[in-house]
Structures are given as C-alpha cells and as structure tokens.
Amino acid sequence: MTKTAAQSDRVYDLAIVGAGPVGTTLAILAAQRGFSVILVDARDPNAPVRKDTRSFAIVRGSWRLLDAAGVTNAMRGSTEPLNGLEAIDGGTHWFGVPGVLFGNDDLPDDPDGQPLGQMVPAADLQAALDDACEKAGEIEWVQGKLFESMEIGPAGASLTLSDGRKIHARLVAACDGMKSSVRSAVGIQTEGHDYNQSVFAANVKLDRPHEGIARQLFTPEGPFATLPMPDNRANLAWYMKRGAAEAIAAMSVEDINAELNARFADFAGPMEIDGPYSAYPLVMQLATRMVGPRTALVGDAAHRINPLAGQGLNLGFKDVGALIDVMYDARDVGLDPGSDVSLERYEKWRRFDATAAAMFMDGIDRAFTNDSNLLKPLRGLALTLAQRVTPLRRAMARQASADQDHLPSLMR
C-alpha cells in the first residue's frame, strides 16, 4: 500500500469511495486481479478508534469471498460458527409453538467443512481487511479524505476530494453506505420505507449454551433475535415501536437486565448485558438503479434492508463478487469494465436479488409483527411446513447461506 499523494494525471481502473467491509474487500479482490485501485477512506488514521461492538453473520458464500481476499486466517479465533437458524412464532396459538430450525445438515457438504456461516465481530473483520489492504501493494489508499464531487466524461470520471485533490478513474464504486454521497452526485434516487420501528442492540452473556444457533422469536410487538458469539455471548437485536427501543436504551443496565429476563428468559435463558448497547431506527432503502454513468453502487449505498437475519452485509458481498466478475469478464474480451455496456450486466444481475431480499425481509417482519387471527394460523402453517418438508427447509438454508446457483464465481 502507498499512502502518498495520488498522482493527479494517473487514470485508475477503479476508484472506491468508502473503506468499510464492502469497500476494502472490493479493493483487495480488484487489485488481486490486476486492476489499478484507489481507495478513498473517510477515516482519519490519527483519530482515536471507536470500537464497533456489532457482530456480522458471514454466511458460507461470503466467507468464501473473504477467503479469496485472504483475510479469513486473521479472523480465526475471534469467530463463532453459525450452525443453524431458528425461527419461533411467539404469538399465542391454539396448540404448540410453531417453529423452524435449519442448519448445516440441510446444506450440501462444503469441501472445507464450513458451517452455514461464521459470526464475526465487526471490529475484527475491519481490522483483517485493513491489514490486507495495507499489504496489497497495488492499492493507493487515501486516508482521512472525503468525496466531494464528481464529473463524468466519455472515458471516465474525475472525483474531487475534500482537500481539493482530483482523482481520475474509469469506474467509481460507491461503497459509502446508506447515505452515499456518490449516489447523490450521480443523481440516483432511492425509495424507502420507514418501519416506524427501532432496534435495541446489545451484547449479552448467556447462561444456556447457544450451540451456534441464531434464534429469532417473533412476537406481536416485533422480533427478538440472538446471534451467537464466542464465550457463549450473543449479539441481540430487539425490535420495538419507534421510541420504545430508545427508552430502553436510556435505562440503567440493571433495569435493562431485569426487563430482558422478564420477557425473554423463557426463550433465551437468563442473560446479562455485557458491553455497550444502543437503539437505532429501522429503515429500508433501495436505490432505483444500481449503476449510473461510470458508477456502480455497492452494498448499503444500493440497498439497506431489514437486518432481521443478518443478510445486509452478505448482500453487499454478493455485489462485490458480481462486480469483480463483471469487470474481469469485460476486460478479458477487451471491453471497458467501467462502460455502460459492462455495468448493464451488473445492474441486471444484482438489482433483482437486492429487491427480492428487501421485500422478503419486509414481508417476514410484517407477517409476524402482529397478533392478527387471520395471519396467525397461516404463519404457523408456513413454519410447520418449512420444518417438516425437507426440500423446502433445504432451499431456505441454501438461500440464507448464499450457497446456490447464479452466484458470483468467488462465492461458489
């Protein structure tokens, strides 16, 4: 890596704006394939690091992509295998508690023995990716600078950064998140949905062994989910009406513990807050297009979905894998990887998947977050069917683990 000033006359194959997990992974994989890459990172290297206490569920397909980027070894030790997903209907039913559990046994055997997924602390993932960017000699890494504006020409884009520096590139990847400035600069609109829900997120110490199962309890007030973490801890997400989650987050740790155990000890066993906690509003947002001239939206810049099953980042990694395939295949036959002709394939490939994922998560949330007497038997039946009908359960497992056809080559 070179942290020197970018040469102003150089034209890069790819300028990446945003150095989160999606941007850095894209940088590493593109540089590996011989594309010249410049990475614009808003983080100030001299600022104190604020520890990210979230954890990501990295499903099997995404893990393969990270393996190709050479960062999985650095994360071993801090990860927790994700062996299964369980969904339980917590509404009141006439008999029994409908639920579905699918796991490793429902998936095709993985040559490396990988489970359905891995739970990775966000800070460890970012550290491993930053380290790999640093070691990749081919990435020009501009730190502590923001994207300001962009001009599009027939053969590329010229970006202006917050220090006035100009960067020229054939393709710009907007990896700058939900409030993407690159997306605004190219005039791509978004459509959104505010669930009027908020999420209370925290890490807890569990009493009962979690066995690597991500568990979701659907209650009429909203879902309650625990994602397994090392040392029998869990990353919990508790969905509530807007305002309620914020109110919980304002309480004392003792009161929160009391509240959690009173409501969810039956489901998750006794638990205790372990580390910082917060509340944030839940919104869905989809860009109306995945591409603009000389621009590809990647990850949250293109789609922000309900984080219910931890699919958001995995959707972003699918974007990364698809963009790498599109760029590689275009260059291989002499086409310009940043041209409209190449980006058209990326748009077609990713837009449907992103929309479908957003709608699906939206539908699940709506179907379960109510106590309607009409929906209750239906969703009970759906869960029971999913549990009893093996092909259905397997299809869900493959979808959730990103282990299926039409995947980017690095995720297969």
Partner 1 sequence: MTVAKDRADHAPATPSIDPDEVAKFSAMAADWWNPRGKFRPLHKFNPVRLRFIRDQAEKHFGIAPEARRPLDGLRLLDIGCGGGLVCEPMTRLGASVTGVDASEANIKTAMTHAGEQGLDIDYRAGTAEGLIESGEPLFDIVLNLEVVEHVADPHQFLKDTGGLVKPGGLMIVATLNRTAKALATAVIGAEYVLGWLPRGTHDWSKFVTPDEADAGLTAAGLVTEPAIGVSYNPLADSWKLSGDTKVNYMIVARRPAE
Site string for partner 1, 183-222 (x = CB under 8 A): ----------------------------------------
> Contact 135/151 with Cβ under 8 angstroms?
no
Amino acid type, 250: A
Which span sits near partner 1 by CB under 8 A: 59-67, 90-98, 326-334, 364-372? 326-334
- Minimum CB separation from partner 1 for residue 108, in Å? 23
Q: Which is nearer to partner 1, 34 or 377 (CB)?
A: 34
How far does the chain reach from its first CA to its final CA, in angstroms?
A: 29
The yes or no reply on residue 155 touching partner 1 (CB under 8 A) is: yes
- Minimum CB separation from partner 1 for residue 99, in Å? 36
Dihedral angle sign, alpha carbons of residues 120, 115, 318, 352 = negative
- Minimum CB separation from partner 1 for residue 187, in Å? 17
Pairwise CA distance, residues 290 & 241, whole Å: 31
> Contact 409/325 with Cβ under 8 angstroms?
yes
Helix axes 312-332, 340-368, angle to 10 degrees: 160
The yes or no reply on residue 10 touching partner 1 (CB under 8 A) is: no
Q: Which two tokens stand for residue 216?
A: 């979701």
> Contact 283/177 with Cβ under 8 angstroms?
no
327: nearest Cα among 171, 150, 140: 171
Which span sits near partner 1 by CB under 8 A: 79-87, 121-129, 299-307, 328-336? 328-336
Q: Which residue of 77, 111, 164, 334 would you call a contact of partner 1, by CB under 8 A?
A: 334
The yes or no reply on residue 409 touching partner 1 (CB under 8 A) is: no
The yes or no reply on residue 325 touching partner 1 (CB under 8 A) is: no
Pairwise CA distance, residues 243 & 240, whole Å: 8
Which span sits near partner 1 by CB under 8 A: 59-67, 82-90, 277-285, 324-332? 324-332
Size of the site for partner 1 (CB under 8 A): 16
Which span sits near partner 1 by CB under 8 A: 44-52, 80-88, 313-321, 337-345? 337-345
Question: In this structure, what are the phi and psi dihedrals at residue 246, rounded to the nearest 5 degrees?
Answer: -65, -40
Alpha helices in 99-190 (DSSP H): 122-135, 181-185
The yes or no reply on residue 262 touching partner 1 (CB under 8 A) is: no
Q: Would you call 251 helix, strand, or coil by DSSP? A: coil
Q: Which residue of 340, 372, 377, 388 would you call a contact of partner 1, by CB under 8 A?
A: 340
Pairwise CA distance, residues 159 & 396, whole Å: 42
- Minimum CB separation from partner 1 for residue 77, in Å? 36
- Minimum CB separation from partner 1 for residue 35, in Å? 11
Q: Which is nearer to partner 1, 131 or 353 (CB)?
A: 353
The yes or no reply on residue 158 touching partner 1 (CB under 8 A) is: no
Q: Which two tokens stand for residue 168?
A: 């020229």
- Minimum CB separation from partner 1 for residue 31, in Å? 15
- Radius of gyration for the chain, computed over Cα atoms and rounded to the nearest angstrom: 22
At a CB cut-off of 8 Å and minimum separation 6, what does 392 contact? 385, 386
Q: Which is nearer to partner 1, 113 or 334 (CB)?
A: 334
Q: Which is nearer to partner 1, 247 or 341 (CB)?
A: 341
The yes or no reply on residue 362 touching partner 1 (CB under 8 A) is: no
Cα–chain-centroid distance for residue 234? 18
Pairwise CA distance, residues 100 & 278, whole Å: 29
The yes or no reply on residue 151 touching partner 1 (CB under 8 A) is: no
Q: Which is nearer to partner 1, 60 or 294 (CB)?
A: 294
Amino acid type, 287: A
Which span sits near partner 1 by CB under 8 A: 93-101, 257-265, 312-320, 334-342? 334-342
Pairwise CA distance, residues 267 & 118, whole Å: 22
Q: Which residues here bind partner 1, judged by CB under 8 A? A: 34, 153-155, 329, 331-336, 339-341, 344, 348
